[in-house]
Structure formats: C-alpha cells, structure tokens
Amino acid sequence: MIAYHGKAEIKELYLARVRAHAAADELVKGVYWEKGKGCAVGCTVHSDSHRDYETMLGIPIELARLEDVHFERLENGDSKKWPELFLSSIRVGADLSMVWPKYAFWMLDGLPKQKDERVIKSIDSVRDLYAEWIDTGTKPNEDRWRIAVDAAGAAAAAAYAAAYAAAVQAASAAQAAARKNFWKSSSSKLIELLQAA
C-alpha cells in the first residue's frame, strides 16, 4: 500500500474536501459523519469507516485511527486545522507502513517512570517488540505480541489498583494542562513521522 495510491490527484481531492468542510465550519467533534458534518475521518471519507482510508487514500487504518483520536483530543483551534495538516503531511507514494510502529515506540518510550517492577518489565517487552519491528521492517509474530500484551495487561491492572486512589486525588487543572500538552506533542510527533515516510 502506498499513500494516495501514488496519485497526486487523489491527495488533492481529499485535501480540497477537508478544506471545504473546514471553511464551512462542518468539522465537529463527537460525530463521525452526519448531515454533511463530521470529525476528521467523516469529513475526509464521508463515512464512519477508518478502513476507507486504506481503500480510498492508501493510508493504513492505524493512521486513520490516530488522526481521529488526535482530532478529538486537540483543542478546537488546532483540531479544526488537523485534517488538512494530517493529509498534507503525507507525500504521494509514501510507504507509511513504519509510521505506526515508530509512533507506538515513541509513546512507550515516553511513559513516566514506573515503580512496579512487573509494569516495567511488561512495558519493556512490548517496547522491545516495536523496536524489533522498526529495526527489521517485519512485524514480530502474533504469539509474541499476545504474550507481551497479556503480561502488560496483568501488570498494569495490578499497578492501576494500587494507584487509583492517588490518581483520583491528583485530578486537577495541572493534569488537564498535562493532557493538553501531551496531545500537542503527540500530534507534532505524528506529523514528523508522516513527513519523514
């Protein structure tokens, strides 16, 4: 799969579409595609199907989902510009297959330091699989992912139970600011990876 199926006219079609929706103030959060309005995905493919990105634009479904979550989480001003920025950052004919593993590795690598040794080992095992995928260009087999993810889930559940009360007390404006900064930083990283592909 190559971006825009290698055709500049496909990129221009979808860029023109999201620009028109933005100009008409039809980009809205919380709705995929309804009555001519919708989110980043809806206003791009005029449906609620992330899979349409693969068939219509030659963009992997994982990246469509990342575009979607960033659109919903960014502040409104940035959110309105996001669909055009996302699509324009992708070069016609680009191979985007390594963007997801590089983004996931970046996310895991940036997690706050953990105290629970089980959580540390679990995160490391998943991160190591992404590192291997990036280094070799080949996704490790499903059995290895299943083992790593199951272990990570069990460890995370134990850590979550222990930290829940503290997290509830810590919910504040500072956390809201941290979330806002995270999505801004995350969107910048995604654009960097798209442009480099």
Q: Where are the domains of the chain?
A: 3-95, 99-190
Lowest mean pLDDT among 35-39, 65-69, 165-169, 171-175: 165-169
Q: Residue type for 175, please?
A: Q
User: Tokens 């989902």 belong to which residue?
Assistant: 65
Q: What is the pLDDT of residue 175?
A: 63
Lowest mean pLDDT among 86-95, 140-149, 152-161: 152-161
pLDDT tens profile 114-155:
777 777 787 888 889 999 999 999 999 999 888 887 766 665
Mean pLDDT of 23-31: 96
Q: How far is CA 126 from CA 56, 75, 102, in A?
A: 31, 30, 13
Report the percentage of the chain scoring pLDDT > 70.
85
Q: What is the pLDDT of residue 126?
A: 87
Q: What is the pLDDT of residue 173?
A: 56
> What's phi and psi for 168, nearest 5 deg?
-60, -45
- Contacting residues for 81 by C-beta, under 8 A, at least 6 apart: 22
In the predicted model, what is the mean pLDDT of the chain?
Answer: 87
Residues 84, 48: Cα–Cα separation, whole Å:
18
Q: What is the pLDDT of residue 172?
A: 54
Q: Residue type for 83, please?
A: P
The vertex-10 CA angle with 8 and 15, nearest 5°, equals 95
Q: How far is CA 72 from CA 40, 67, 165, 172, 184, in A?
A: 9, 9, 27, 20, 12
Mean pLDDT of 175-193: 83
